[in-house]
Every structure is written in structure tokens, then in C-alpha cells.
């Protein structure tokens, strides 16, 4: 196979036909940078949602995570990541948008086999015996309001 060179004389293909790229030169990365909406729409197809659904949900949640109510803080290549689509792994239904931390934490909670092992481990070592989402206690029921004595005043005001 003959070697091909670019305009600066750098080999495009090495011996054996393998493509030689300059460090950081990835066509897919350039395409994603050039067409960010199309790239996002393609990645959302995996979850069966459209770009319009994502944008509407993002606006509905004010750009915040549906679980913790905070904006995304995780970064990739120096840029803040987009919110992740929360979806049911069994039925494929989509729910809301989550930050990376909540999405990862929820994934671990959903793995029931891991959860059972983790609970057994914690019991064995005398720690909390249950891993679960803790709900606040139910508020105490207030006593019914006292019945007021409704007696007319002794001297009614004349009109």
C-alpha cells in the first residue's frame, strides 16, 4: 500500500494501512463541535426522546437536577456537562434530567443485588443497617382546634 501525505508532508496512513492522526485530531469531535444540536439529538435517540423534549424538560426544571435541585457541576474537557436523561433501564421510559452525581448514585441504588450485599456488609460491621432514600418523618397531627364559645355580647351595639 502506498503512503499518503497531507499538504505538510505528514503521513496519513502508516505501514499496514492504519490511519495515522495528529494528537487531538478526531473527525467525530470536530463534527460534534460544528453541529452541537444535531450531536445532542443523536445521543438522545438512545433514550427515545427528541431534542425538543430535552429542551422543554430543561426549561421546565430551570436547568437544575430534578433530584437535588442543583445545576450540573461535573466537567468534561473543561466544559460543564449537560444534564443526563433519567430513564428506566427495564421499561425504557424517561422521567427527568439529573446531574451526573445523582444519576450515578441512582444507578447504584437501582442495582438491588449490590444494595443487598452493601446492607449485609454494613450490618456485619455494626454500621447503618439499611441503605435507602431516607424520607423525612411524618409531621405529628395537630390537635383539632378548640371550639370557641360563641355567645353574643351582653350589650349589643344598636344600629
What are the pLDDT digits (tens) for 31-64? 888 988 898 899 898 888 999 999 999 999 999 9
Q: What is the model's pLDDT at position 134?
A: 45
Q: What is the model's pLDDT at position 63?
A: 94
Please state the rounded mean pLDDT for residues 12-37: 72
Q: What is the model's pLDDT at position 58?
A: 95
Contact 39, 32 (CB under 8 A): yes
Buried b (16+ CB within 10 A) or exposed e, 7-22: eeeeeeeeeeeeeeee
Question: Hey, which residues does 13 pair with through a beta bridge?
Answer: 19
| Number of CB atoms found within 10 A of residue 32's CB | 15
- The residues spanned by each domain of the chain are 1-34, 36-124
Q: What is the model's pLDDT at position 5?
A: 58
Q: Where are the beta strands (DSSP E) in the chain?
A: 75-76, 79-80, 84-87, 94-98
Q: What CATH number has the domain spanning 36-124?
A: 3.40.1800.10
Q: What is the model's pLDDT at position 30?
A: 82
Amino acid at each position: 500500500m502506498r503512503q499518503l501525505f497531507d499538504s505538510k508532508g505528514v503521513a496519513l496512513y502508516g505501514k499496514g494501512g492504519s490511519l495515522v492522526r495528529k494528537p487531538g485530531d478526531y473527525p467525530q469531535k470536530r463534527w460534534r463541535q460544528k453541529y452541537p444540536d444535531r450531536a445532542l439529538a443523536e445521543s438522545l435517540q438512545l433514550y427515545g426522546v427528541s431534542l425538543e423534549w430535552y429542551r422543554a424538560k430543561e426549561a421546565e426544571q430551570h436547568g437544575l437536577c430534578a433530584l437535588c435541585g442543583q445545576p450540573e457541576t461535573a466537567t468534561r474537557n473543561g466544559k460543564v456537562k449537560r444534564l443526563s436523561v433519567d430513564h428506566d433501564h427495564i421499561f425504557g421510559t424517561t422521567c427527568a434530567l439529573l446531574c451526573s452525581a445523582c444519576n450515578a448514585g441512582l444507578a447504584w441504588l437501582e442495582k438491588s443485588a449490590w444494595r443487598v450485599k452493601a446492607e449485609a456488609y454494613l450490618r456485619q460491621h455494626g454500621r447503618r443497617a439499611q441503605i435507602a432514600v431516607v424520607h423525612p418523618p411524618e409531621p405529628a397531627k395537630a390537635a383539632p382546634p378548640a371550639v370557641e364559645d360563641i355567645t353574643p355580647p351582653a350589650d349589643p351595639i344598636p344600629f
